Homo-oligomer: A and B are copies of this chain.
Amino acid sequence: MEQAKLQFIGILHSDITSRMDAPRNYTHSNKIGTLEIYPEFQEGLDGIKAGQAIVVLFWLHQASRDSLMIYPRGDKSRGLHGTFSTRSPIRPNPIAISELNVLSITDNQLEVSGLDILNGTPIIDIKKKI
């Protein structure tokens, strides 16, 4: 088996609509948005509380998957880097990791802060922060 199928568990609603608007990464962001978890996965949220930090994995559905050498932040003056030595969204499996703070939870909607991800991006996992 050389492949596996991801199921999307939800979708992000944020006011970040272009990469130009996106903070450099979650450590540089105080942007607020909502994780909408699809009803069939809502039960898995049990135990998450407001005030908590969570780790969220997103599937960067707009990212190119076919380059292994990239310019960090698109800056050609820095030269080409192997994508696995960077946080570039351009990579064979375009998964982003964000550490977000939970502001509130209502049913299947988590209001979070710290976003650096585009509006409409699929969510693939949520974990407790170690």
**B-side contacts of A82, CB under 8 Å:** 43-48
A interface residues, tally (CB under 8 Å): 46
* Oligomer: number of copies: 2
Q: A interface, by DSSP: helix, strand, loop or mixed?
A: mixed
B54, B93, B122, B128: the one within 8 Å of A124 (CB)? B93
Q: Considering the complex of A and B, which 10 residue pairs feature the smallest CB-CB distances, nearest first?
A: A46-B82, A47-B85, A44-B68, A84-B126, A43-B68, A44-B84, A44-B82, A4-B6, A48-B85, A47-B81
- Can you list 11 A-B pairs with a CB-CB distance of less than 8 A? A4-B59, A6-B6, A41-B68, A44-B69, A44-B91, A46-B80, A46-B82, A47-B85, A84-B125, A93-B124, A95-B124
